[in-house]
């Protein structure tokens, strides 16, 4: 029995799901099973005849399953003049999945709207929804749906949120020893703020949850405020923020602080009120983890100042800033060893010479010129994390209080032992995890 069969049989077996979704009704071949519910949704059912209905359900199931199996982060369903293109974003790059005739567009989008409880008769306004898709017993994929009208019709983006409930272990995040030492040191602090920063899709929350799972949640009150909840850790109190009820992160945080938490995880700091509350909480004997959307560790200090947080409070609360990016990992089945040109070799040696034993005969790996089925001829498979870990020092604090420029903060941070993210990236080239081309494209030259 293949995964798609299991999926279908799960949809039939109502005892496996606590909630029957409207979408599930369409995968039932025997009408006698759920006649009442079907009657109430006859308007939806009339969209397709039975035969077309089944193939549409299978088609949508296959999109989800293929995206899931290929570790896609999102699915894009895009109408054009005569066709509908379906593409997956895998490791940051678009891979074409299928192209359909434009005539299929409406039924495909309607099926997704039904699964995510959206209005199928609304075509002019953007809509957002969710799907919790049962794969097999105990496993499910959470997806966020966004539908926006374009001049060719509605475009749908499905973000795949969760592949596993359990966050990866800290040791599986490619954190180099020079960064791991600093991170572990601050996990032992009794209060303060630890931030994971980076652009969208840099998996900041994954890093935070790997850090959170280092604590003994049974002996402490660990509470989170999230949107969405992606991982679940036993004994941790996960709260899903509901933006629709206009109760902001800051309001949630204020309420949460009354529950006397030891460790708090705030999903994202993006406004002044949340920033101030998080900083205040972290100097009153709480450990606060959060993320900020910034480009580098030193940018983050400036961002907090720009959110009108008192620099004196920032300096007493901030413990460490973990800035991160994702780079594509070379496919293990097709990567090829080579000796880089003297120019590339000298560049790498100039940056990471202290970690290299053999500087003359540097061997690197690159993508090959042959077809590889394992990576769909993309030469990359999965990802590798790149990090830059800044620790607050007295020197950095005094610079910050003097309103120093970002460059001054950067120079001081490196002087105090921060390994710049570019060097961390080059280390991962030297360790044959990724290519020099990938690092230069992710981090710039
Ligand atoms: Zn390959």
pLDDT on residue 4 = 41
Q: Which residues contact 42 (CB under 8 A, 6 or more apart)?
A: none
pLDDT on residue 364 = 93
Element (H, E) at 42: helix 42-45
Q: Which residues contact 412 (CB under 8 A, 6 or more apart)?
A: 393, 395, 396, 399, 404
Locate the domains of the chain by residue range: 3-161, 170-443
Angle between helices 406-415 and 297-306 (to 10 degrees): 140
What's the CA gap between 287 and 263, in Å, rounded? Answer: 5
Task: Say which CATH class 170-443 falls into.
Answer: alpha beta
Average per-residue pLDDT for the chain: 84
From the CA of 383, how far away is ligand 1's center (Å)?
Answer: 13
Query: DSSP letters of 81-139?
Result: SSEEEEEEEETTEEEEEEEEEGGGHHHHHHHHHHHTT--TT--SS-EEEEEEEEEETTE
pLDDT on residue 49 = 46
From the CA of 173, how far away is ligand 1's center (Å)?
Answer: 21
From the CA of 174, how far away is ligand 1's center (Å)?
Answer: 21
User: Do the beta carbons of residue 189 and residue 172 sit within 8 Å?
Assistant: no
From the CA of 330, how far away is ligand 1's center (Å)?
Answer: 8
From the CA of 366, how far away is ligand 1's center (Å)?
Answer: 11
From the CA of 71, how far away is ligand 1's center (Å)?
Answer: 15
Q: How far is CA 295 from CA 239, 358, 385, 442, in A?
A: 27, 33, 15, 12
pLDDT, averaged per 10 consecutive residues of the chain (445 residues), comes to 40 35 33 34 41 79 88 92 93 89 92 93 92 74 92 94 78 94 94 94 90 92 89 90 78 90 93 92 92 94 90 93 95 93 93 83 88 86 94 94 93 96 96 95 88
Helices (H), 148-202: 177-187
pLDDT on residue 162 = 64
pLDDT on residue 136 = 66
pLDDT on residue 142 = 84
Q: Fold match between 3-161 and 170-443?
A: no
Q: 3-class DSSP state for residue 427?
A: helix
Radius of gyration of the chain (CA): 25
pLDDT on residue 138 = 65
* Surface-to-core class of residue 194, CB atoms within 10 Å of its CB (0-12 exposed, 13-18 middle, 19+ buried): buried
What's the CA gap between 67 and 160, in Å, rounded? Answer: 8
pLDDT on residue 232 = 87
CATH number of this structure's domain 3-161 = 3.30.450.90
Q: How far is CA 376 from CA 66, 188, 371, 389, in A?
A: 13, 44, 8, 34
From the CA of 331, how far away is ligand 1's center (Å)?
Answer: 5
Can you give the pTM of this predicted structure? 0.78
From the CA of 335, how far away is ligand 1's center (Å)?
Answer: 7
User: Do the beta carbons of residue 225 and residue 265 sit within 8 Å?
Assistant: yes
From the CA of 97, how far away is ligand 1's center (Å)?
Answer: 18
User: Do the beta carbons of residue 298 and residue 390 sit within 8 Å?
Assistant: yes
pLDDT on residue 161 = 80
């Amino acid at each position: 029995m293949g995964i798609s069969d299991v999926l279908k049989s799960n949809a039939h077996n109502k005892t496996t799901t606590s909630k029957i979704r409207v979408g599930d009704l369409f995968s039932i071949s025997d009408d006698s099973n759920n006649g009442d519910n079907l009657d109430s949704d006859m308007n939806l059912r009339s969209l397709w005849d039975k035969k077309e209905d089944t193939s549409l359900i299978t088609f949508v199931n296959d999109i989800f399953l293929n995206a899931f199996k290929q570790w896609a982060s999102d699915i894009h369903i895009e109408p054009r003049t005569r066709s509908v293109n379906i593409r997956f974003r895998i490791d940051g790059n678009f891979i074409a999945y299928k192209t359909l005739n434009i005539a299929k567009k409406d039924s495909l989008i309607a099926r997704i709207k039904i699964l995510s409880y959206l209005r199928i008769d609304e075509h002019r306004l953007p809509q957002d929804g969710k799907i919790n898709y049962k794969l097999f017993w105990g496993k499910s994929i959470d997806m966020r749906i966004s539908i926006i009208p374009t001049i060719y019709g509605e475009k749908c983006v499905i973000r795949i949120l969760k592949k596993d409930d359990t966050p990866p272990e800290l040791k599986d995040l490619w954190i180099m020893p020079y960064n791991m030492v600093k991170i572990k040191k601050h996990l032992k602090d009794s209060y303060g703020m630890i931030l994971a920063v980076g652009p969208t899709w840099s998996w900041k929350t994954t890093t935070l949850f790997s850090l959170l799972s280092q604590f003994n949640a049974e002996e402490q009150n660990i509470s989170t405020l999230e949107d969405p909840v992606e991982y679940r850790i036993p004994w941790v109190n996960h709260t899903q923020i509901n933006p629709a009820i206009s109760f902001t992160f800051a309001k949630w945080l204020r309420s949460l602080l009354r529950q006397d938490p030891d460790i708090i995880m705030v999903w994202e700091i993006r406004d002044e009120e949340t920033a101030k509350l998080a900083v205040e909480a972290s100097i009153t004997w709480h450990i606060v983890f959060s993320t900020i959307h910034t480009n580098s560790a030193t940018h983050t200090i400036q961002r907090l100042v720009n959110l009108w947080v008192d620099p004196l409070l920032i300096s007493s609360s901030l413990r460490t800033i973990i800035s991160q990016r994702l780079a594509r990992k070379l496919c293990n089945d097709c990567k090829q060893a080579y000796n880089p040109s003297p120019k590339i070799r000298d560049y790498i040696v100039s940056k990471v010479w202290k970690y290299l034993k053999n500087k003359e005969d540097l061997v690197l790996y690159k993508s090959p010129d042959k077809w590889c089925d394992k990576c769909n001829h993309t030469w990359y498979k999965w990802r590798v994390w790149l990090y830059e870990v800044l620790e607050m020092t007295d020197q950095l604090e005094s610079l910050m209080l003097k309103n120093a420029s970002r460059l001054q903060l950067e120079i001081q941070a490196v002087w105090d032992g921060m390994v710049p993210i570019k060097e961390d990236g080059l280390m991962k080239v030297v360790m044959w995890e990724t290519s020099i081309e990938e690092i230069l494209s992710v981090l710039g030259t």
